[in-house]
Amino acid sequence: MKITPVLHNTRIHNPHGFRLSLWEKMHLDLPLLLGLVLLIGLGMLILYSAGGKSLMFLSQQAMRLSLAAGIMIGLAQIPPQSYRTWAPWLYTVGVVLLIAVLVLGVIGKGAQRWLNLGLFRFQPSELLKLALPMLLAWYFSDRPLPPKLTQIALATIFILIPAALVAKQPDLGTAILIAGAGFCVLLLAGISWRLLLGLIATIIAIAPLSWHFLKEYQRQRVLTFLDPERDPLGSGYHIIQSKIAIGSGGLFGKGWLQGTQSHLNFLPEHATDFIFAVCGEEFGLMGGIVLLSIYAFIIIRGLQIAIRAQDTFSRLLAGSLALSFFLYIFINIGMVSGLLPVVGVPLPLVSYGGTSMVTLMASFGILMSIQTHRRLVAS
């Protein structure tokens, strides 16, 4: 019997002839898919209300979602080893593009996040959300773990380069998400707890210094977070109105399409970053718990895929993707409910808007790829 090459195989390695379901043949992960469908369904319901019952609004979102789903399915077909091979190149291209964006921004005298590619606008920072964890997973994949201090230092530089470039755009939310994704790889790679604590302590020590580097509006946001009543009609307005929206929803909410805060425009950005407040207002605590449960389900499934992954690269990448998905949720809901300062992070797959949705669905595609390209062995 000829030995089938283990790597670089686009099909599931199935030497023992396990029965494969249709989903598995299509390289799709059913639980993850189920979680996403539930999330997107609920998200569309909320968005319909938040968008002022506009079907056009909804159909635009649906079109973006189909595009993103297509990308997800496509990426799920590519075996993890390919990602491993591409990782350094993706990262390099991403960083170069970030620099390009920054230079163009300087020339254009203003904040610039996009590269206009004619047909659509492309945000290099979104690419980094995937490319950075891939690079780090690739970096650690053929090195003995736990990583050595020098390796950690190098990895930190890999993290800081894109994070700093994105923060400079300035897009603090995305910078945090990129750094977070990279940090998750370090965490999963087995960085020692002592080092971890040291790193956290360093960050806390640096935080006051970073005040100096923050833009005026970012400082305002931090001050406003500390005391929203400071400027109730200015920078504190968002968070006050958002808390009113959530709080007034109560246990069961005011009912779908019945939210006054969003429909009367008291709640700013209610279709984008602050859409969770609409959910809180119209569906109440129950709606919030349902939404959080769906998110928790997706995250747990992602972590499960990470545990079951059979090589270091897949494990680190899967775990990091699942954790950064969590970061989105925690930062967004924390911000909308007044636990965290306002940073521009959308509520994943619910907020109206394109770029982050494509990135997120792409990461689920990668997760599915990792899950469905395992070598099946008898236990």
257 contributes a contact to another protein by CB under 8 A: no
Cα–Cα distances in Å, from 261 out to 19, 49, 267, 269, 317?
Answer: 52, 11, 5, 11, 40
Q: Which one among 246, 317, 345, 367 touches another protein, defined by CB under 8 A?
A: 246
Is the peptide bond preceding residue 146 cis, with omega within 30 degrees of 0?
yes
Pairwise CA distance, residues 203 & 209, whole Å: 10
Instruction: Give strand pairing partners of 265.
Output: none
Residue span binding another protein (CB under 8 A) among the ranges 104-112, 157-165, 222-230, 240-248 = 240-248
Q: Which one among 98, 181, 323, 345 touches another protein, defined by CB under 8 A?
A: 323
Alpha helices in the chain (DSSP H): 22-25, 30-50, 55-77, 80-107, 124-141, 149-167, 172-189, 193-210, 216-226, 237-249, 260-263, 275-308, 312-336, 355-372
Q: Which of residues 124-153 bind another protein (CB under 8 A)?
A: 144-146
Minimum CB separation of residue 102 from another protein in Å reads: 32
Minimum CB separation of residue 21 from another protein in Å reads: 25
200 contributes a contact to another protein by CB under 8 A: no
166 contributes a contact to another protein by CB under 8 A: no
Minimum CB separation of residue 356 from another protein in Å reads: 19
226 contributes a contact to another protein by CB under 8 A: no
DSSP one-letter string for 312-334:
HHHHHHHHHHHHHHHHHHHHHHH
203 contributes a contact to another protein by CB under 8 A: no
40 contributes a contact to another protein by CB under 8 A: no
Q: Which is nearer to another protein, 67 or 296 (CB)?
A: 296
> Any idea what DSSP says for residue 18?
-
259's CB contacts (< 8 A; 6+ apart) are: 49, 245, 249, 253, 278, 281, 282
Q: Which is nearer to another protein, 247 or 353 (CB)?
A: 247
363 contributes a contact to another protein by CB under 8 A: no
Pairwise CA distance, residues 296 & 291, whole Å: 9
Interacting residue ranges for another protein, rule: CB under 8 A? 144-146, 187-188, 190, 241, 243-251, 260-261, 264-266, 268, 280, 284-285, 288-289, 292, 295-296, 299-300, 303, 306-307, 312, 315, 319, 323, 326, 329-330, 333-334, 337-339
